[in-house]
Structure 1
């Protein structure tokens, strides 16, 4: 088996606000839109990951929390500055983490935590847990 791509689908009654959040703050662009289901492509020079947003359909429960969308970025400090200047308030502060990243978290309108980070050297206590370097 060879996985060619992966995406996250968020079932949200706040589809319009969630879509606007990713389009305005993460350079997402729609590549499919039938009204109740939208595929947004995150435009980057490296790859084009997708986030899918969906209005709840009959008998379907909306997302109720507990998920992180992890975005590896070039410079978390720069993005943090851009997003806070745009009026967003991080729910997780920008800081170094001993497991080997510097990052911060935002809450999107559907309740997903968007964790933006870049790698840094892990502390000695976490080096033993690294199985493979990316």
Structure 2
């Protein structure tokens, strides 16, 4: 199988808050919204997120503990300035990581960790793990 897209869908009581958060802070384009279910594109056409209110029968509300979305951006320093100026507080500071990125993290309304980073050259000890 070759998937065309692989959008994660969070079942949450916070569909409206999630939609507003991603539209406001990440420029998400809402491509479908029936109130209890929303699909959004963020950046490139294949970058999508979905949020759905619990419905019976259906999956239970998601426990996002340990769930992380990784956002690769061109200029992580500019994104850090922009998002903190908008009032978002990083839960992980902006810093260089030896595995090959510079990044920070914030939380979305559901408690999903949003790791925002720009790629960097990995430190020598991590170069052996890079695959082409």
Structure 1 stretches of 4+ with a deviation exceeding 4 A read none
Q: State the SS of the aligned residue for 1:61.
A: coil
Distance 1:55-1:16 versus aligned 2 partners, 3 A rule: same
**Residue in 2 aligned with 1:108?**
108
Q: CA RMSD in A?
A: 1.3
Corresponding residue for residue 62 of structure 1: 61
Which residue of 2 is the match for residue 96 of structure 1?
A: 96
Q: Please tell me whether the aligned partners of residues 14 and 53 of structure 2 are also in contact (alpha carbons under 8 angstroms).
A: yes
Residue number in structure 1 paired with 2:25: 25
State the alpha-carbon separation in 1 of the partners of residues 45 and 104 from structure 2.
22
Q: More deviation in 60-69 or 116-125?
A: 60-69
Matches within 5 A, 1:1-134: 1-42=1-42, 44=43, 46-58=44-56, 60-65=59-64, 66-132=66-132
| CA distance in structure 1 between the partners assigned to 2:109 and 2:71 by the alignment | 17
CA deviations over 1:29-71 (Å, ceiling 9, x no partner): 21011111100111x3x54411001111125321112211111
TM-score when scaled to structure 1?
Answer: 0.91
Give the C-alpha shift of residue 10 in structure 1: 1.1
Q: Which runs of 5+ in 1 are unaligned?
A: none
How many matched pairs? Answer: 130
